[in-house]
Amino acid sequence: MSLQSFAPVLPEIFVLAMVSLILVVDAALDDGKRYITYTLSLVTLAGAAFLTLRDLSSAPGVVLHGLFIDDPLSDVLKLFVYLSTAAVMVYARAYLKARDLYRGEFFVLTLFAMLGMMVMVSASHFLSLYLGLELLSLSLYAMVALQRDSAVATEAAMKYFVLGALASGMLLYGMSMVYGVTGSLALGEIAQLLADGTDLRLPLVFGLVFIVAGLAFKLGAVPFHMWVPDVYHGAPTAMTLFIGSAPKIAAFGFVVRILGQGLESQVAEWRDMLVVLAVLSMAIGNIAAIAQSNIKRMLAYSTISHMGFMLLGILAGTQSGYGSAMFYVLVYALMSLGGFGMILLLSRAGFEADRLDDFRGLNRRSPWLAFIMLLLMFSMAGIPPTVGFYAKLSVLQAVIELGYVWLAVLAVLLSLVGAFYYLRVVKLMYFDTPHDPQPVAAGADARILMSVNGLAILALGILPQPLMAVCAHAIGASF
């Protein structure tokens, strides 16, 4: 194995080395110098982005004996993961300081979780896929429980851990069945062995069922969604912000690697399962969100419905379908960062702005933040000219091209149901009287980032073609 074979893995090696350095440095710092840990974390993200951009691949290249693949898909997903993680750190800084959570553990766990995501999106082997997933999952379990004196956070972490372990077991069991049928754990070899048109063997069918069930849990799709509202609600909002953004990008890469590359020849079998998951997720997610008075739980059910929409693109089983699903998940991560970031901006010491009533009269307190929140809600509802409209439109086109017109019609009807609870937030901000008339107190860095976040939603809605082209190129060059 030559040094050249390690070149595609340099971003992962750099992140791991920096996390180890941050662990050692943070142990020697007192609370007044925690900004050093914060700065080093952002430097880590910038360095990883530089290494990824420097070695942008134009064609897939498999290294490390088939464990790792470097292709345009992994490069684009990694860059958006870095961007999301950096936004989380900027949004969360004031919130963490006010709750005595501004410690090295948060930054180290965040970077370890990001390292797991990087491995997930670049894995071309069942072993590396699973290792990346477990590194991400274990970091998220610890992050949810980071507020040790909160009984709600501890309960949420326990639920997340127990159900996550069950899902990981399902996924591992499904992978072992696929290995039993094919005799290989490498996705490329599995695809070749299953592409010869031989009769589908019973163990492979069971393996597919277990794999799809495990993937559905990681996405939070119905009926494996029970952890999402409890974890989103129970975890500190800074952790909820992270869980609801970057890991969804990695989960998309994980699903596409397994179903779109390894098990592509079995598309007829797993497509039917994804249809059921998508319909149930869109229906239950949108309907259950209407009854929520807590905005974190509302956005949790909203996440479930959005993952159902993303599955519409994946179930198409075509390059255009994968491209539209990729566009959708990147847009969703941007919207989720803005939505949960706004909750962080409105929160202060001793006060969690996690109830819908806390958004009453926001326009009187801060017209600009109310306008940004309006853009975010419109985008989540799929209202033009925001980018959420084009994200929904692209996955619906992929479904219609497949001939599933009924599924597209049902998705449109369910998105109309979802528009109710998004527009309810707009109504509260613009037509109700605020409980607290004081102006919103937030740091300049968070305000600037929120403004960029909201305006990006509008700009990408007016000009979605560049991002769509990037997604189409990444999928086209990787498949």
pLDDT level of residue 210 (50, 70, 90 thresholds): very high
Asked whether 234 and 241 are in contact (CB, 8 A), the reply is no
pLDDT at 420: 92
pLDDT level of residue 188 (50, 70, 90 thresholds): confident
Q: How far apart are CA 202 and CA 170, in angstroms?
A: 17
Residue type, 52: T
pLDDT higher than 60, residue 199: no
Cis omega (within 30 of 0) on the bond before 434? no
pLDDT at 2: 61
Q: How far apart are CA 61 and CA 69, in angstroms?
A: 6
pLDDT per position as a tens digit, 367-383: 999 999 999 999 999 99
- Per-residue tokens: 206: 């069971």
Q: Residue 167's closest CA among 232, 213, 128?
A: 213
* Sign of the torsion angle spanned by Cα atoms 12, 14, 15, 17: positive
Domain ranges of the chain: 3-478
DSSP 79-122: HHHHHHHHHHHHHHHHHHHHTT--SHHHHHHHHHHHHHHHHHHH
Q: Residue 436's closest CA among 356, 358, 331?
A: 358
Q: Within 10 A of 250 (CB to CB), how many other CB atoms are there?
A: 27
pLDDT higher than 70, residue 94: yes
**Regarding predicted confidence, which is higher, 100 or 249?**
249
Arithmetic mean of pLDDT, 168-179: 92
pLDDT higher than 90, residue 219: no
Q: Dihedral of the CA atoms 351, 356, 357, 363 (nearest 10)? A: 100
* Sign of the torsion angle spanned by Cα atoms 381, 337, 52, 121: negative
pLDDT higher than 80, residue 25: yes
